[in-house]
Amino acid sequence: MCLKSLFGITASQNSGSPQSSRRPIESWSAAKELRAGFESHELFEEEILYPEFDQFLSTKVAIGDAFEAHAELDGLLQEIEGTPANNAGWIERIRELKSRMQEHMRAEEEKIFPVARLELAKTRAEELGRRFQERQK
């Protein structure tokens, strides 16, 4: 299960219907799997990537913002996990999560990664990329 799969739930919603096209248990399982994947990704960023990028003055504020975004996303994921998937508020939380994740990724892509590409030695960037890929297995 990936972000696209879980967030596809929101796309399949009828505007007036709080019911998902999936059964509640499938939706809940998808959210749980999303949380596990996000936590793995988040740990890599917070323990390895951000400390590496934090050495660059031009990314310090963006790194702080990224840590805050992670905390907000963690909170939303906890709310989603604690809400029954057949509850009307559940799908709204999924939509909010999607929006916040997209904002977070956009901020990283616009404010952090371009600086890192310029500042990091190519070999170091490649090493970080390999480490990320290894953790995703």
| 14 has pLDDT over 90 | no
Interaxial angle between packed helices 3-11 and 88-107, expressed in degrees from 0 to 180 and rounded to the nearest 10: 130
Residue 76: half-sphere exposure toward Cβ, Cα within 13 Å: 22
| Percent of the chain's residues with pLDDT above 70 | 80
Give the model confidence (pLDDT) of 86-125 as tens digits.
888 888 988 999 999 999 999 999 999 999 888 888 888 8
CA distance 21 to 7: 12
Domain with 98, as residue range(s), is 3-136
CA 65, 46, 109: angle at the middle one, nearest 5?
55
Q: How many domains does the chain have?
A: 1
Burial (CB count <10 Å: 0-12, 13-18, 19+), residue 6: buried
At residue 24, the pLDDT reads: 53
Q: How confident is residue 8, by pLDDT bands cut at 50, 70 and 90?
A: low
pTM of the model: 0.77
Instruction: Please state, rounded to an integer, the average pLDDT across all residues of the chain.
Output: 81
- The letter for the amino acid at 38 is F
